[in-house]
Amino acid sequence: MHEDNIHLWQHSHAFGQHLKRPGETRTLIVIAITTTMMVVEITAGIAFGSMALLADGLHMASHTAALSINAFAYIYARRHAHNEHFSFGTGKVNTLGGYTGAVLLAGFALVMAWESVDRLISPVQIAFNQAIFVAVLGLIVNGASVLILGQHHQPEQAKDLPDQLDTHNHNHDGGQHGHHDHNLVSAYLHVLADALTSLLAIFALLGAKYFGFIWADPLMGIVGALLVARWSLGLLKTTSTVLLDHEGPEDVRKVIKDRIEAEDGNRISDLHVWAVGPNIYSVIISLVTHHPKPPDHYKRLVPPGMGVMHIVVEVHPCDERGDPLMV
């Protein structure tokens, strides 16, 4: 009886989230680098009485805290991947980490703009040699961090996901539809923003030191704040659409619709595609047909290679006139 073999119809919704992602390791490496620099700069700032070093060390502390949120999201998602209280796994924890990072990045941009406008209105005396040294040091550290996290634009391959039941039509060669590792993107943008700030600061400080362009330092701060704000808003937009179950990529929807309706008499009456993790999609298909077949038949019509990991099919039989059949 099926009561004794019910496990044959059950399946995991981890969708590979229990696997350690490359972004987790890279984020932890960057946290170690920034924490080390934070301790060195704060210690040196106190020992030598340098406010520039102390201020940059405290900035590194906030930077480390933001990256720690990204690391926490990775670890939490991996450790709770098999928790049945998460209906579609923990893939969206990754996106939530990215969203949180984007909010912090927007706050960072706001503080940058506020401080820069204040300095533009009320210029202060700058210790150029110390400030340039700190900016160069920051550029080196953040530049290295950018290189470490710089592969964020390459989508992770679904081939790393475990095999699942055939009834789920799980695919193993990756979706290429733009839902990257938002958590890693967030960490990357944090270090990129810091690297950009350091680079702009170097040019501005050199201009102020050698040509008297005192206004260049706060002006570059405003330019940097605008760029960081743009990056954060872009990440907020992409992560919020995933968190709010926005419809998935149009090309995925079109392929599914075309493949199922290619069979004579099949018409899709309702189709929902949404992301449940990086490059992982869940699908609900409701179709009307003259020649109804088991749901597994329609699931197998969805081709591999699109990141579709979970499919639910509703089959509604109808007669030749298109009227519903009572079954």
Average pLDDT over residues 46-50: 68
* pLDDT exceeds cutoff 50 at 177: no
Query: What mean pLDDT comes out for the span 253-264?
Result: 91
- Range from 71-80, 152-161, 181-190, 310-319 carrying the lowest mean pLDDT: 152-161
- In this structure, the answer to whether residues 205 and 277 fall within a common structural domain is no
Q: Which of 224, 216, 280, 223 is nearest to 252 (CA)?
A: 280
pLDDT at site 287 = 93
pLDDT of residue 320 exceeding 70 = no
Token pair listed for 262? 């290619």
Position 166 scores a pLDDT of 36
Q: Are 24 and 74 in contact (CB under 8 A)?
A: yes
What pLDDT, on a 0 to 100 scale, did the predictor assign at position 27?
92
> Could you give phi then psi for residue 311, rounded to 5 degrees?
-130, 130
What is the pLDDT, as a whole number, of residue 322? 56
Q: Does residue 326 lie in a domain region?
A: no
Contact 279, 296 (CB under 8 A): no
Residue 303 and residue 190 share a domain: no
Total domains in the fold of the chain: 2
Q: Do residue 54 and residue 179 come from a single domain? A: yes
Asked whether residue 322 is domain-assigned, the answer is no
Residue 200 lies in a domain: yes
Tell whether 71 and 92 lie within a shared domain. Answer: yes
Using the predicted structure, report yes or no on whether residue 29 has a pLDDT greater than 90: yes
Asked if residue 138 and residue 26 are part of one domain, the reply reads: yes
pLDDT at 164: 38
**DSSP letter (8 states) at residue 1:** -
Residue 108 covered by a domain: yes
Three-state DSSP state, 177 = coil
| Residue at 64 is within a domain | yes
Pairwise CA distance, residues 208 & 206, whole Å: 5
> Which amino acid, 111?
V
Within this chain, do residues 90 and 223 fall inside the same structural domain, yes or no? yes
**Residues making up the chain, counted from first to last:** 327
Domain boundary (182, 213, 243) is at 243
Q: Is 3 left (phi over 0), alpha (psi -120 to 50) or beta?
A: alpha
How many Å apart are CA 119 and CA 53, to the nearest integer? 19
Query: Is 151 part of a structural domain of the chain?
Result: yes
CB-based contact 67:30 (threshold 8 Å): yes
pLDDT of res. 208: 84
Query: What pLDDT is stored for residue 60 in this prediction?
Result: 78
- Mean residue pLDDT across the chain: 80
Measured CA distances, 326 to 272, 290, 296 (Å)? 25, 13, 21
Q: What is the pTM of this model?
A: 0.77
Residue 90 near residue 81 (C-beta atoms within 8 A): yes
The residue with greater pLDDT, 207 or 167, is: 207
Closest alpha carbon to 17 in 80, 97, 67, 96: 80
Q: What is the C-alpha to C-alpha distance for residues 27 and 250, in angstroms, rounded to an integer?
A: 32
256 in the same domain as 235:
no
Can you tell me the distance from the alpha carbon of 188 to that of 276, in angstroms, rounded to the nearest whole number? Answer: 22
Measured CA to CA, the distance from residue 316 to residue 327 in angstroms comes to 9
CA atoms of 193 and 65, how far apart (whole Å): 15
- CATH number of the domain encompassing residue 224: 1.20.1510.10
Average pLDDT of 256-270?
90
Task: Please indicate, yes or no, if residue 324 is contained in any of the structural domains.
Answer: no
Instruction: Give me the CATH number covering residue 312.
Output: 3.30.70.1350
In a domain, 162, yes or no: yes
219 in the same domain as 119: yes
Mark which of 197, 213, 243 sits at the end of a domain. 243
Residue 223 banded pLDDT, cuts 50, 70, 90: confident
Residues 218 and 285 reside in one and the same domain: no
Burial of 49 (0-12, 13-18, 19+ CB in 10 A): exposed
Torsion angle of the four alpha carbons 106, 110, 112, 113, in this order, in degrees rounded to the nearest 10: 130
Cα 222 to chain centroid distance, Å, stands at 26
* pLDDT score for 125: 78
41 and 117 co-located in one domain: yes
Q: For residues 287-292, give the mean pLDDT.
A: 89
| Alpha carbon of residue 269 to chain centroid | 32
Of 198 and 283, the structure prediction assigns the larger pLDDT to 283
Q: What is the pLDDT of residues 113-168, one digit of tens each?
A: 888 888 888 887 777 788 888 888 888 988 999 999 886 444 444 444 443 333 34
Domain boundary among 182, 214, 243: 243
* Same domain assignment for residues 133 and 235: yes
Spatial separation of the C-alpha atoms in residues 205 and 182, rounded to whole Å: 34
Identify the domain containing residue 299 by its residue range.
Answer: 250-317
Asked if pLDDT for residue 172 goes beyond 70, the answer is: no
The share of the chain scoring above pLDDT 70, in percent, equals 80
Amino acid code (one letter) for 216: A
Please give the Cα distance from 284 to 142 (Å, whole number).
44
Q: Please check whether residues 163 and 260 belong to one and the same domain.
A: no
